[in-house]
Structure 1
Amino acid sequence: MTMGDLEPTNVELRYKIQPRKSDTEQALAGNDFDPFALRDNEHPTTDNETLTHLLKASLGTGILGMPFAFMCSGIVMGIFSTIFTAFICTHCSYVLVKCGHKLYYRTRRTKMTFAEIAEAAFQKGPKWCRGFAPVAKFSILFGLFLTYFGTCSVYTVIVASNFEQLIAHWTGTAVSLRMLICGMLIPLILIAWVPNLKYLAPVSMVANLFMGLGLGITFYYLVQDLPPVQDREYVSWHTLPQFFSITIFAMEAIGVVMPLENNMKTPQSFLGICGVLSQGMSGVTLIYMLLGFLGYLRYGAGTEESITLNLPIAEWPAQAVKVLISLAVYCTFGLQFFVCLEIVWDGIKEKCKKRPTLVNYVLRTVMVTAAVVLAVAVPKIGPFMGLIGAFCFSILGLIFPVVIELIVHWETGFGQYNWILWKNAIITLCGIAALTFGTQAAIKDILKAYSNTENVGE
């Protein structure tokens, strides 16, 4: 045996100098890839915390418009239409998350945003659609940012407007709405500085508590001196489209679905018959139906666009409702803001590796300031956001998820009798109808709001 026989071969050398792969790297390289086991979250949220966030995202100020929506549909049609709308919205959120889980395995990634799911679906889909992947990602990012950044501005106006009414009632002096909005800058910056969804969970719990108390007092007023059901319209066909536009935009929370799923400790629990999504939306649907039914039954044709406007401002319980709901909206600001922050931060974080924490907090401060400045500049921004919400939520919440599902199943098939294809065609038609009628209603609100402003000025 020569000395050459004792020398290691090239193969042996390569084996010796290569570092040992970690368990994560081996799983990524092998067939036993499990995106949920490999997901690395520094502060993961539990199922209950995720459910709390979901309830807060769905139980927004839109619920206060449900009695008006029931007036548009009729008291009987409103019940069935609310169930139908909730089913469509929940199903589209379910479809988005389910497609995301499928794409985790195809792309070997552990989590993705809404926009990344759309991009991956087009990239991994048939050849004819792969070139549209960047367009799909940009469209979703732009739509989400536009919608939720505008929502943050509207939330600022809502809180300031409620306190403006209370101050005027108690002091008899008119206070500048713009000054109240400016005064909210520091509190909004502080809530925007909450670092992640894990630490934002207690804030959402407080928001749910405030909203629950506010709704509880509202229910107290609604059950007083109820007239018989026969005094109300059962079905109102000519204004039914307006019902759907109001309800969809009130219930829709497509923008926070993937951030919630991405931050979960057990993301598999998000789906399923008894999953977090089903539990949350079932409870939300019941509350929406109950408030809509009782509100319309109590006030009939005099039902206002927000049920709080029907409450007597001179009574302290009604004033408490305004305070509680205002505080709930303030606490919800952080969750809505998180969607905007995630979109912008994902686009710039690779360029900010020296001091990422400092840049992140500066970005939060600048974005909150921009939202407040927008609210100060245009305190009548609400109707315009109704237009943007009608346009964006119909496309983002209903149309885009089913398009993604069709592309994900393009090569594997659409199920027996092509049921996925037929089902998605119906949802797409509903989305187009919501887009059309919601946009029309928003434009009417804009014209009404600014014609009233001109009349006051005259």
Structure 2
Amino acid sequence: MTDSTISIPPSASSSSVFTLNDFNSHTNLTEKPEHTDEYFPSQHRDQVKGQSTGGAFAHFLKGSLGTGLLAMPMAFYNGGLLFSMIATLIMGYICAHCIHILVKTSQDLCKTTKVPALGFAETAEKVFENGPTSLRSWSHMARLFVDYGLMVTYFATICVYMVFIATSFHDVINYNFGLSWDVRIYIAMTVIPCLLIGQIRHLKWLVPFSAMANVFIIITFAIVLYYLFNKPLEFSDKPLLARPTQIPLFFATVIFAMEGIGAVFPVENAMKEPHKFLGCPGVLNLSMFTVVVLYAVIGFLGYVRYGSEVRGSVTLNLTEGDPLADAAKLLMALAILFTYGLQFYIPMDILWKKISYKFEEKNHNTTQILLRTGIILISVGVSAAIPNLEPFISLVGSVFLSLLGLFVPAVCELVYLWPDRLGFGKWRLYKNALLCIFAICALVAGAAASIRGIIEIYN
């Protein structure tokens, strides 16, 4: 998911920050090849400023690794050692497959509609526009669903960020200074830097923050690995399969951790050779293989080390009062704070494009300041109401990313290929139907378990 620290180019669609018109205005388009009617999107992309395959791999990998990695031990606690290891590998394949079919559909639509690139929401819209006649009236609704789904997802994510930042500072400061302040006090203090970073409206000004965040994350991971291996690991008291009531929380957390659906189109749209995003090995396959291996290893070792005491981020389990552990907690909190601006930028850009026409241009600056301030204050209120990281992560993963990361790609491929391109025996119909059913089950079961946990905490 779930936190993306990539530099998003001006080629992404409205669902990925920018519109297609923005893409065309920022790219050097070449002439359509002569003597052929086939349209090649790569020949109409910016070959000077476009992103290389290696750069795309680095960006997509960076966008897929973040707080979700540190939440994997909690996922293993909710699944059990053996079940979680197997299910993590399966979920990694499912997430990679859903991204693959969504990007493949988008690239095929680019050739059909003769445009250089399509973003997430535009892909959903074009799928229905070019699909069965009876579904074409749903095209605008599909675009709105993805746009608003992305906005809600990112706004929910910034609430998770605030809780994580506040909890990290709460644990370090309260222990070292003998305080007993409630975590809500730290959430209230977090609003000050978030208000400042949240007012940044240009991606280039966020680059230094993202660079520092990446350095802090690397150092934190190294410290976490040190603590995971500094004592003998105990396996005997860890169940191979957790209680059935915990399983939905496992899937919700893993979906939150692995689904980087918001980072897919900004990366793919910026590539000079978009066909290399898919394929074997390809950017997607290499990135997801690396992500799945890291998530499985950290989840397994983190749960073996801390067992039932594992928390929403494994950094919060590190030894209290230990200078190295405190450094890891604070560095990770600062890394999340520095990536807050990018996470907030994406939904605000989508929202502003939808409502800016309602205000006079001379009032745009004041309106943006007030709007951004209001949304940040609302997110602080939500965070203070649910100051516990575990059910919050599960809720975001189960509700929003189940829909955007699993359900929407399956529906898009199904509608695009309907009715005569579904493969032998219409196997793609059944495959996508199973994906949709799985997404809905993950949504309902995960949301119910998360809300139940939130209610228990509130009481």
Q: Please tell me the TM-score bracket, short chain as reference.
A: 0.7 to 0.9
- How many residues of Structure 1 are paired with residues of Structure 2 in the alignment? 424
Q: Indicate how the Cα distance of structure 1 residues 95 and 59 shifts in structure 2: closer, same or farther if over 3 A, else same.
A: same
Does structure 1 residue 401 correspond to structure 2 residue 409? yes
Decide which of 374, 388, 399 is 2:378's aligned counterpart.
374
Aligned-residue offset at 1:179: 4.2
Describe the superposition over 1:213-245 as per-residue Cα deviations: whole angstroms up to 9, x where unpaired: 212211211223334434422233623332112
Q: Indicate how the Cα distance of structure 1 residues 177 and 23 shifts in structure 2: closer, same or farther if over 3 A, else same.
A: closer
Aligned-residue offset at 1:97: 0.8
The residue type paired with residue 182 of structure 1 is V
Decide which of 50, 67, 70 is 1:64's aligned counterpart.
70
Q: Which residue number corresponds to residue 185 of structure 1?
A: 194
Structure-2-length-normalised TM-score: 0.82
Describe the superposition over 1:21-63 as per-residue Cα deviations: whole angstroms up to 9, x where unpaired: x985656997242222213599544434433332333223222
Aligned-residue offset at 1:449: 2.4
Instruction: Provide the C-alpha distance between the structure 2 equivalents of 1:384 and 1:278, rounded to a whole number of angstroms.
Output: 29
Does structure 1 residue 410 correspond to structure 2 residue 449? no
Decide which of 437, 445, 452 is 2:453's aligned counterpart.
445
1:18-417 map, 5 Å: 24=30, 31-40=37-46, 44-173=50-179, 174=181, 176-185=185-194, 187-189=196-198, 192-195=200-203, 203-236=209-242, 238=244, 239-347=246-354, 365-366=369-370, 368-378=372-382, 379-381=384-386, 386-417=394-425
Structure 1 unaligned segments of length 5 or more: list them. 1-21, 452-458
Aligned-residue offset at 1:106: 1.5
Identity of aligned residues (%): 35
The residue type paired with residue 372 of structure 1 is I
CA-based RMSD of the aligned residues comes to: 3.1
Instruction: Provide the C-alpha distance between the structure 2 equivalents of 1:255 and 1:262, rounded to a whole number of angstroms.
Output: 12
Instruction: Provide the C-alpha distance between the structure 1 equivalents of 2:69 and 2:375, rounded to a whole number of angstroms.
Output: 23
**Mapped contact 1:95–1:405 kept (Cα < 8 A):** yes
Q: Indicate how the Cα distance of structure 1 residues 41 and 194 shifts in structure 2: closer, same or farther if over 3 A, else same.
A: farther
Q: Indicate how the Cα distance of structure 1 residues 415 and 251 shifts in structure 2: closer, same or farther if over 3 A, else same.
A: same
> SS at 1:318's partner residue?
helix
Structure 2 unaligned segments of length 5 or more: list them. 1-27
> SS at 2:311's partner residue?
coil
Aligned-residue offset at 1:115: 1.1
Instruction: Provide the C-alpha distance between the structure 2 equivalents of 1:184 and 1:28, rounded to a whole number of angstroms.
Output: 55
Aligned-residue offset at 1:346: 4.3
Describe the superposition over 1:49-86 as per-residue Cα deviations: whole angstroms up to 9, x where unpaired: 43333233322322222112212222122211111011
Instruction: Provide the C-alpha distance between the structure 1 equivalents of 2:256 and 2:312, rounded to a whole number of angstroms.
Output: 14
Structure-1-length-normalised TM-score: 0.82
Aligned-residue offset at 1:128: 1.4
Instruction: Provide the C-alpha distance between the structure 1 equivalents of 2:423 and 2:370, rounded to a whole number of angstroms.
Output: 48
Instruction: Provide the C-alpha distance between the structure 1 equivalents of 2:371 and 2:360, rounded to a whole number of angstroms.
Output: 20
Aligned-residue offset at 1:88: 0.7
Describe the superposition over 1:181-209 as per-residue Cα deviations: whole angstroms up to 9, x where unpaired: 2321354136x44435xx75665454333
> SS at 2:438's partner residue?
helix
Q: Indicate how the Cα distance of structure 1 residues 23 and 338 shifts in structure 2: closer, same or farther if over 3 A, else same.
A: closer
Structure 1 or 2, whichever has the larger Rg, is: 1
Instruction: Provide the C-alpha distance between the structure 1 equivalents of 2:165 and 2:234, rounded to a whole number of angstroms.
Output: 35
Q: Indicate how the Cα distance of structure 1 residues 446 and 231 shifts in structure 2: closer, same or farther if over 3 A, else same.
A: closer
4+ runs deviating over 6 angstroms: 349-355, 361-364
> SS at 1:229's partner residue?
coil
**Mapped contact 2:157–2:396 kept (Cα < 8 A):** no
Mean Cα displacement is larger for which, 336-345 or 292-301?
336-345
Q: Indicate how the Cα distance of structure 1 residues 233 and 276 shifts in structure 2: closer, same or farther if over 3 A, else same.
A: same
Q: Indicate how the Cα distance of structure 1 residues 42 and 167 shifts in structure 2: closer, same or farther if over 3 A, else same.
A: farther
Instruction: Provide the C-alpha distance between the structure 2 equivalents of 1:27 and 1:354, rounded to a whole number of angstroms.
Output: 41
